[in-house]
Structure 1
Amino acid sequence: MLVAPHVSAAAARMPASTSPAARVLRPTAQSSHTYEGGPAFVREPREELFLLAVGNLVTQQTFYESGRERDDRYLRLVGELAVEDPVWTAGLLGWLRQEGHLRTAPLMGAAAYVRARLLAGSPPSPGPSHRAVIDSVLQRPDEPGELLAYWMSAYGRNVPQPVKRGIADAVRRLYTSRSLLKYDTASKGLRFGDVLNLVHASPDPDKPWQGALFRYALDRRHHPERAVPPPSDRLLAAHRALMELPRAERRSVVTGPDGAERLAAAGMTWEALAGWLQGPLDAAVWEAVIPSMPPTALLRNLRNFDEAGVSDEVAARVAARISDADEVARSRQFPFRYLAAHRHAPSSRWAAPLERALGHSLAHVPALPGRTLIMVDRSDSMFWDTVSERSTLTRADAAAVFGVALAMRAEQADLVEFGWTSPVVPFRAGEPVLDVLSRFHRLGGTYTTKALRTRYQGHDRVLIVTDEQAAEPGRAGVPEPVPAEVPVYTWNLAGYRPAHGPTGPRRHTFGGLSDAAFRMVDLLESGRGAAWPWAADPA
């Protein structure tokens, strides 16, 4: 039996906080339609760019937009806001790469930012320099080469000095012996030596070993026949010694009593090992390289360990590492990565550690007081788009993980999946998240308003995880069945342009499933104005 909507005592006490988007937007009137024909609302450019950036996998075709259309919209917005609001835009790009854990979008964005400001003849802004913006998005040793290659393919071989200097700053910070072994490979379009030649990076004066390393990187690229690692560099020397072993001796060295130590001392990665051995990795070889593999590599290879027959003793050590709270925090993996690992390696020996790891990765999900309605979009479009270029997990999977985590942490929650219909998803407190995920379904069209009319029963708040492409006709937008005094939080996982409701007091839209997004509900409901995730003060 449906209960007439009312405002609970908890909701009545909530301050009328505004989200980051609401700070820069006036409540908008209906101005267009969603891709499914429902009422839509135009976003202010900063909100549009933020939601697109956190939901955009560069060049990826989505259900409603081609990869080219999304990329063009992203680069256009970056270019416009780089000129109109450079401080905000620079903050966004650095946050996307560092806390947002995205790679290609911030690299392309930083290039577009600098190019737009140079073309506009923009004077220096009070924010970071062009050089600093470039440096801020380069966090992995292969990224200086990637950004340089992107600039030359998109804008020509005349690379401006601020770009070169920003890349040079990153090179001094990122180029080490270990990074050279892992990332300076023939598969890269621009090798370390190419980057050094093009940006003329000088060694960091606080790293006396870096000059010799740079010379070695240049020789590896341009004169491999005479490339000799610096004698004082023990890692490179150990690696060279392994590389020079006759092929017939290599396996016996790896599987010998000190094989694991020798592989670690030489910086040998599991990716390079198969090519060096010129054969498959069996249990003995895996057991030698596993101790030096990072948690992300362990997650990726659980099925390979099973197929090779890795011993239970070694598997137990792998399980302990991937489920260790500190390791999970350091690896900065999104929660759905553990769901992906579980699906790829369904062996019973990985289920419990992956469940523990998933729990650790959700540490920042808020524990919400009172009654919460959590709605997870299971429409067809959510199943069409994946969460990353390499993943088979869909946005529907990511939304379900987030929804279950919120429900588990809330004081009292109703968890609902919706499409054409809106069934309740049953769960018990403390139940394994992976078990609850098996109860979700694919539910066709996006009837969000219908679901709210059916399921909203005086809750203190509503959280909707969706791509916002509601199908119902009307004028007021999706949140219309919820009283204006009750907060409605929308997590937009796709970054499409049409919004399913207006922005205003108690109506908040966030993008992505980052730690910063998890914190927003607490910030808003405690009366503290939530700034953009990278800003110390409200926008």
Structure 2
Amino acid sequence: MARFNFKLRANRHELDDVDVVRRLDPPVHAERLPRQWIAEDQVIREFSTEQGAPAFPRSPRLELFLLAVSHMVGSDTFYERADERADRFRDLVRTVAVTEVDWFARFVPWLRTGAMLRSASVVAALEGAAAQVEAGIPGSRAVVDSALQRADEPGEAVAYWLARHGRRLPKPVKRGVADAVRRLYTERSLLKYDTDAAAVRFGDVVELTHPVAVAPWQGDLFRHAVDRRHGRDRPTPESLAMVRARAELTALPVRRRQEVTDPVVLGRAGMTWEALAGWRQSTMDAAAWESAIPNMGYLALLRNLRNFDAAGIGDGAAAAVAARLSDPGEVARSRVLPMRFLSAYRAARDPRWAHPLETALRHALGNVPALDGRVLVLIDTSGSMSAGFSRDGTLRYWDAAAMFGLALAARAAAPTVVSFSVGSHEFPAEPGEPLLAALRRFRAGYFIDSGTETEQALRRHYDGHDRVVILTDEQAAFHGARDVARSVPARVPVYTWNLAGYRLGHTPVAGNRHTFGGLSDAAFAMIPLVEAGDTDRWPF
């Protein structure tokens, strides 16, 4: 099978990998599998984890869901190379897009706007469109449109299609991209994203897809984008006031540019902090950052805390940043994944950011349910969980597992938290401890880093709990148990959070055994739904 690498660049603002939930999917019945996979006792023996334990296949729909919500495009996991995951992802998309048309039409827009997974949703939309066009199935136009939610994505989608499928864009793809262009192309987005570094420029997209402008100003913008692309020296239309304001600033001599510090002037010219740094042609000092901060988005503030400290911004500017970071409305609108706050906390140097980040993380985890009864939370800290979770390598799968395991425990009436690998250790709770402080304590002494002895940890620590939650990559070691949850009574729910999206699971999906994918507060909100009997529900 031919290998390929995804060409889409990661969104620097998003952890392009994980979010949200799954629902119960019908188990794969033994009678539907080839006879050689079935032993006399009807246990499927052909499948095993990477550590040799029996494993259980999933339906293509559930396998695609779990892979998508844990899929960092272009990144290796412990047991699977990036190109292998890319092939598996693409093949699953092409299968499910044709066999589960209605489900797929709901899945892709949720993947982009619910799970906030940019590259995975764009690739899914385009590969699904290719399969549906080939099969003569309508509906690809709306799916493609739904996956494109940022103004650089129409160009990235076209670049991906040209690289994978050739020059010809089928009508559903062309029209879906054109629909997105009409929503997304503005003066501000042109100035931010239409750069020489882009493989496919705004003007290229306009010429290939022929979008119909929503208003006269947008028609002027389309023509201006084409002129920019071809280097035509034509006057900027009067309707494009922001583009003209940027041109005026660009015309200033370099020696005068550092004098422009009015945020209103910079805002009218659509000057992002990235553009400001290049335009000034000098180091971003405190004055430069303070002029940029009022026009910066939430995510930009979050990822520049270290830069603010290095430049030495004033107390007033820092207080304004802290107020925005901890504002519940700002957190909700930004839709930042909770893991981003942990990443920012570790990157920040000044302790003044600890409280606003703790507050922001608490808001971001607002949907974590308050669980009654006794809850056993098992956090996998085996060697395979040390694989990179974030692109820069600062966060690993076990960081994600620990953060969400501790967040769930903090909301539970009577939790037992256990770190497990080869051996296991109970993590003692400290009432009222902030989540980030608990994470520091867990990281300092509870990462084991060896094999994955899930079944042994369950046998050792299950003691009449009302429910069990396991955060793991499901790569259990084999020590004789066919099902890692066999020691837990069938009446007790066992929830597995699959962090890596591998193909096979460590327990059958049936009865009170549930597999979830993705990491957000919305994921944990599924627990009460399942226990209320709503077991036939996806998050879209």
Query: Which residue does the alignment assign to 1:432?
Result: 434
CA distance in 2, matches of 1:194, 1:79: 27
Report the Cα offset of residue 336 of structure 1. 1.2
CA offsets 1:43-91 (integer angstroms, 9 cap, x no match): 1111111111111111211110111111101111111111111111222
CA distance in 1, matches of 2:24, 2:479: 25
CA distance in 2, matches of 1:29, 1:332: 43
CA offsets 1:111-162 (integer angstroms, 9 cap, x no match): 111111222x3344xxxx1111110100110000101100110111111111
8 Å CA contact 1:39–1:472 kept in 2: the answer is yes
Secondary structure of 2:211's match? Answer: coil
Query: Which residue does the alignment assign to 2:107?
Result: 92
**Match 2:487 to one of 481, 484, 487:** 481
Letter in 2 for 1:437: L
8 Å CA contact 1:492–1:509 kept in 2: the answer is yes
CA offsets 1:89-108 (integer angstroms, 9 cap, x no match): 22222211110100111111
Query: Which residue does the alignment assign to 1:234?
Result: 241
Report the Cα offset of residue 22 of structure 1. 3.3
1:282 has 2:285 as partner: yes
CA distance in 2, matches of 1:374, 1:151: 43
Map 1:278-427; keep pairs closer than 5 Å. Answer: 278-386=281-389, 388-390=390-392, 392-427=394-429
Map 1:492-503; keep pairs closer than 5 Å. Answer: 492-503=498-509
Letter in 2 for 1:178: R
CA distance in 2, matches of 1:222, 1:515: 47
Query: Which residue does the alignment assign to 2:447?
Result: 442
Letter in 1 for 2:230: H
CA offsets 1:433-467 (integer angstroms, 9 cap, x no match): 11111222321111111111111111100001110
8 Å CA contact 1:39–1:474 kept in 2: the answer is no
Query: Which residue does the alignment assign to 2:60?
Result: 45
Secondary structure of 1:40's match? Answer: coil
CA offsets 1:354-379 (integer angstroms, 9 cap, x no match): 10011010011111111111111111
Secondary structure of 1:414's match? Answer: strand
CA offsets 1:336-392 (integer angstroms, 9 cap, x no match): 111100111131110111100110100111111111111111111111232x33452
CA offsets 1:202-254 (integer angstroms, 9 cap, x no match): 212xx33211111111111113432x332133322222221111111110122
8 Å CA contact 2:26–2:509 kept in 1: the answer is no
**Match 1:112 to one of 127, 144, 152:** 127
Report the Cα offset of residue 529 of structure 1. 3.0
CA offsets 1:272-313 (integer angstroms, 9 cap, x no match): 111111111001111111111111001111001101111112
1:171 has 2:171 as partner: no
Query: Which residue does the alignment assign to 1:35?
Result: 50
CA distance in 1, matches of 2:52, 2:171: 48
Letter in 2 for 1:442: F
Secondary structure of 2:427's match? Answer: coil
Letter in 1 for 2:228: R
Report the Cα offset of residue 473 of structure 1. 2.8
CA distance in 1, matches of 2:311, 2:522: 40
Query: Which residue does the alignment assign to 2:89?
Result: 74
Query: Which residue does the alignment assign to 1:184?
Result: 194
8 Å CA contact 2:377–2:415 kept in 1: the answer is yes
Map 1:449-528; keep pairs closer than 5 Å. Answer: 449-528=455-534
Report the Cα offset of residue 20 of structure 1. 2.4
Query: Which residue does the alignment assign to 2:136?
Result: 122
8 Å CA contact 2:263–2:291 kept in 1: the answer is yes
8 Å CA contact 2:485–2:494 kept in 1: the answer is yes
TM-score (normalised: structure 2): 0.90
1:215 has 2:217 as partner: no
8 Å CA contact 2:368–2:525 kept in 1: the answer is yes
CA distance in 2, matches of 1:178, 1:67: 34
Letter in 2 for 1:455: H
CA distance in 1, matches of 2:141, 2:404: 37
Considering only aligned residues, what root-mean-square deviation do their CA atoms show, in Å?
A: 1.5
Letter in 1 for 2:504: P
Secondary structure of 1:352's match? Answer: helix
**Match 2:255 to one of 248, 254, 257:** 248
Letter in 1 for 2:231: H
Sequence identity percentage: 52
Report the Cα offset of residue 181 of structure 1. 1.1
Report the Cα offset of residue 516 of structure 1. 3.7
Report the Cα offset of residue 531 of structure 1. 0.7
Report the Cα offset of residue 269 of structure 1. 0.6
CA distance in 1, matches of 2:293, 2:43: 57
CA distance in 1, matches of 2:348, 2:230: 42
8 Å CA contact 1:26–1:503 kept in 2: the answer is no
CA distance in 1, matches of 2:75, 2:332: 28
CA distance in 1, matches of 2:110, 2:501: 17
Q: Which moved more, 1:491-500 or 1:389-398?
A: 389-398
Secondary structure of 1:35's match? Answer: coil
Secondary structure of 1:154's match? Answer: helix
Secondary structure of 1:446's match? Answer: coil
Query: Which residue does the alignment assign to 2:12?
Result: none
Secondary structure of 2:316's match? Answer: helix
Q: Which moved more, 1:210-219 or 1:437-446?
A: 437-446
Aligned in 2, Cα 1:498/1:342: closer, same or farther, shift over 3 Å? same
The count of residues paired between Structure 1 and Structure 2 equals 503
Where structure 1 has 5 or more consecutive residues not aligned to the other structure, the ranges are 1-18, 535-539
CA distance in 2, matches of 1:334, 1:225: 43
Aligned in 2, Cα 1:360/1:86: closer, same or farther, shift over 3 Å? same
Secondary structure of 2:97's match? Answer: helix
Secondary structure of 2:331's match? Answer: helix
Report the Cα offset of residue 25 of structure 1. 4.8
CA offsets 1:150-193 (integer angstroms, 9 cap, x no match): 01101111111110000000000111111111111111111100
Secondary structure of 2:419's match? Answer: strand
Query: Which residue does the alignment assign to 1:139?
Result: 149
CA distance in 1, matches of 2:452, 2:116: 29
CA distance in 2, matches of 1:89, 1:50: 10
Aligned in 2, Cα 1:368/1:132: closer, same or farther, shift over 3 Å? same
Report the Cα offset of residue 528 of structure 1. 2.5
Higher relative contact order (CA 8 A, sep 6+): 1
8 Å CA contact 2:455–2:484 kept in 1: the answer is yes
Aligned in 2, Cα 1:352/1:515: closer, same or farther, shift over 3 Å? closer
Aligned in 2, Cα 1:69/1:219: closer, same or farther, shift over 3 Å? same
TM-score (normalised: structure 1): 0.91
CA distance in 2, matches of 1:463, 1:368: 12
Report the Cα offset of residue 415 of structure 1. 1.1
